[in-house]
Amino acid sequence: MRKLYERYVGYLTAVCSRYVVDRAAVKDILQEAFIKIFKGLDTFDYRGEGSVKAWATRIVVNDSLKALKASSRLSFVEDLPDAPEEDEPGLPQVPAAVVQEMIKALPDGYRTVFNLFVFEKKSHREIASLLGIKEDSSASQFFRARAMLAKNIKAYLKEHEQ
Q: Do residues 138 and 127 make contact, with C-beta atoms less than 8 angstroms apart?
A: yes
The pLDDT of residue 162 is above 60: no
Q: What is the pLDDT of residues 87-141, one digit of tens each?
A: 454 444 788 889 999 999 999 999 999 999 999 999 999 999 999 899 999 999 9
Q: Read off φ and ψ for residue 117, nearest 5 degrees.
A: -75, -50
| CA–CA distances in Å: residue 44 to residues 40, 55, 62, 63 | 6, 9, 17, 18
Other Cβ atoms less than 10 A from the Cβ of 20: the count is 27
Q: Do residues 110 and 148 make contact, with C-beta atoms less than 8 angstroms apart?
A: yes
Q: Which CATH number describes the domain made up of 2-70?
A: 1.10.1740.10
Task: Judge residue 50's burial from the number of C-beta atoms within 10 Å of its C-beta, 0-12 exposed, 13-18 middle, 19 or more buried.
Answer: exposed
Domain ranges of the chain: 2-70, 91-159
Q: What is the mean pLDDT of the chain?
A: 86
CATH topology of domain 91-159: Arc Repressor Mutant, subunit A (1.10.10)
Ranges 31-35, 40-44, 73-77, 147-151: which has the least confidence: 73-77
